[in-house]
């Protein structure tokens, strides 16, 4: 889980588009959860894909 443990600093301004991608920056429409590509969203997806119970997920 090295990828999940890595620390990142957001260097953009605005509504944290690097960390999460809730809205399409061009249209303003909400992006469906499975299509989001922010850093935090990718890390959560990796944790979910590699853990099968709540105890491991919460580590």
R_g (Cα) of the chain, nearest Å: 13
Cα–Cα nearest to 3, from 28, 30, 39, 54:
39
Give the range of the structural domain holding residue 15, as residue numbers without chain letter. Answer: 2-57
Domain count, the chain: 1
- Return the pLDDT at 30: 94
Model pTM above 0.85: no
- Per-residue pLDDT tens over the stretch 6-41: 887 766 666 556 778 888 888 989 999 888 888 888
Flag whether pLDDT at 47 surpasses 80. yes
What span, in angstroms and rounded, lies between the C-alpha atoms of 52 and 48? 8
Flag whether pLDDT at 58 surpasses 70. yes
- Return the pLDDT at 32: 92
């Amino acid at each position: 889980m090295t990828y999940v443990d890595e620390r990142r600093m957001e260097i953009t301004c605005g509504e944290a588009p690097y960390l999460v991608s809730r809205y399409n920056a061009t249209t303003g429409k909400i992006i469906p959860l499975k299509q989001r590509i922010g850093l935090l969203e990718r890390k959560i997806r990796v944790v979910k894909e590699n853990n099968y119970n709540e105890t491991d997920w919460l580590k």
